[in-house]
Each structure stands twice: as C-alpha cells, then as structure tokens.
A = this chain, B = another copy of it.
Amino acid sequence: MKARVHVTLKPGVVDPEGAAIARSLGRLGFGGVEAVRVGKVFELALATSDTDAARAEVEAMCEKLLANPVIQSYRIELAD
C-alpha cells in the first residue's frame, strides 16, 4: 500500500526558506504574497497491506527519521 506523509513546521517556528521565497516572489512582481511556509511530502510504497500496521510503522518512521518532532508536525494518509 501507499502512504503519504506531510511534514510541516509547527506554528511559531521561523521558516527562513519560506521567507526567502516570499521575497523572491515579490521581486518577480507577485505583489500579493503575504507569507510562504514550506513543507515536505514523502510518498512511501510499503510491502504491507495491513492498514493498522502500516500506520504504526509510518508513525515510527516519522518520529525516527522523516520529521523532527520538536519543530515539525506530520500527517499520515494511507491508500491501497
């Protein structure tokens, strides 16, 4: 089955990459951009077809490698 993990900075955590992109958009003439935040998406192909097992395994992957739980939050979507 497939898992999609969305990793984003927690509210309040400074996002220098997003700020740089917002400035660049302004310089390119896009005047109406108030803020930009950047996140990552991981699309995983998993051998298991057990949804509960997959969710538990992907949560462990997030805690150990895919996200930094101190400053990032993550959301997991599973699909067949």
- B-contacting residues of A (Cβ < 8 Å)? 6, 8, 18, 21, 24-25, 28, 30-48, 57, 60-61, 64-66
Contacts and interface: CB of A to CB of B under 8 A. Distances in A.
A36 B43 contact: yes
List the number of copies, as a whole number. 2
Nearest to A35: B45
Contacts of A41: 6, 8, 38-41
Nearest to A34: B45
Contacts of A32: 46-48, 57
A46 B26 CA distance: 12
A48 B32 CA distance: 7
30 contacts: A6-B41, A8-B41, A8-B43, A18-B42, A21-B66, A25-B65, A28-B61, A28-B65, A30-B57, A30-B60, A31-B47, A32-B47, A32-B48, A32-B57, A33-B45, A33-B46, A33-B47, A33-B61, A34-B45, A34-B47, A35-B44, A35-B45, A36-B44, A36-B45, A37-B42, A38-B42, A38-B43, A39-B40, A39-B41, A39-B43
